[in-house]
Amino acid sequence: MELKLLLGFLASMFGSLFGKMLVLEQAPLVHVKDLVKPLVIADRKVSRAELEVPLFVTNVPKEHFAGISEPLNSLAKARKSAIDNVIQQILGSIETKYDYKYFNRVYGNIRNIQRVIDDKLSGTAHGIVLDVERNIVNSFWLMDGSGKFVYFVLVYYPEQKIREMRRLSKGAQVIASVTSNQNGHVRLKISEINGVEVTMSSADIKIRKRNKFAKAVTLFLWRVPSGSVQNYSVNLDPVKVCGNSKHTELSLDKIRKKLADYLLGADFERIVMLKGHDEIGRPISIEFAF
């Protein structure tokens, strides 16, 4: 009896263990790669799947520009490449200059004449583009099959911004003239005609003096130079102009004629270089003489 009980207990244990083994054998196999999902960070997804083009690239909203990078080894470089692509598109909408070249060459002898025509049309866009990164409204990146980064970016750049960049791309055009010159106080009129604000704040002044009687005086009295050149700089009260004209004064007290200058028949040529900057920091200079 005891032997039967022992055999029954062992049989039940083996049966239970064998049943669990069957359950394990029938469970579905789960691979590690099935548990790994693409990493999603905000609107950026890293995947080695086939290249997915986001909707904002295939259907670009109005007043937006979509940029696509080249496949690059660095995410930072890919992002810069996508932004550069947008900048090129904006430049093209601002202003484009084309260079057309045509060459027609004939060579050879009377029995074997060859003619070569080289016809080339190239365009180079140029201008000012600002605030592209500040106006990014969407972005997306992934890794292609070769493990390189591809970046997509959407930038809001409305027509009003295009007009503003077109205006800045023209640059400022500044004109300066002397309206009066009395006792070393020169009154200047400064005008800007392109609608780009400029601030003029300093002046470099060159004084060329030529002594007409230098040879005669040197021959009979004392040796004097035929002329001289003086250079100095002065600060101006900042003058801002944009599509209009304003007046300012320039003091030339240091270079007024002296008694010796009258005796030597001195002639003065004053060359003034006004300096400043425009509204985006580009240096501006205008030279005039009187």
- Is residue 164 located within the same domain as residue 48? yes
Residues 6 or more apart whose CB falls under 8 angstroms from that of 29 comprise none
pLDDT the model gives residue 59: 93
Q: Which two tokens stand for residue 104?
A: 């027609």
Smallest CA-to-CA distance from 201 within 176, 252, 236, 177 is with 236
pLDDT at 120: 52
Question: Is there a single domain that holds both residue 59 and residue 129?
Answer: yes
**pLDDT score recorded for residue 30:** 28
Strand partners, 247: 189
Same domain? For 164 and 53 the reply is yes
Overall number of domains in the chain = 2
Contact status, residue 273 vs residue 285, Cβ threshold 8 Å: yes
* Residue 43 sits in the same domain as residue 147: yes
Residue 138's pLDDT is: 96
Same domain, residue pair 268 and 151: no
Tell me, what's the pLDDT at 93?
A: 85
226 and 255 together in one domain? yes
- pLDDT at residue 3, rounded to an integer: 47
The predicted pLDDT at position 134 comes to: 95
CATH number where 270 lies: 2.60.40
Same domain, 182 and 63: no
Domain-ending residue, one of 168, 183, 204: 168
Whether residues 218 and 277 fall in one domain: yes
* Residue that is last in its domain, among 146, 168, 190: 168
Intervals of the chain under pLDDT 70: 1-51, 95-126, 212-224, 227, 253-265
List 208's β-bridge partners, or say none: 229, 269
Instruction: Give residue-wise pLDDT tens across range 112-135.
Output: 555 555 555 455 556 889 999 999
- Domain around 261: 171-289
Per-residue pLDDT at 174: 93
Q: Are residues 163 and 184 in the same domain?
A: no
Q: Among 138, 132, 135, 136, which residue's Cα sits nearest to residue 55?
A: 138
Round to whole Å and give the CA distance between 202 and 5: 114
Asked if the structure places residue 180 within a domain, the reply is yes
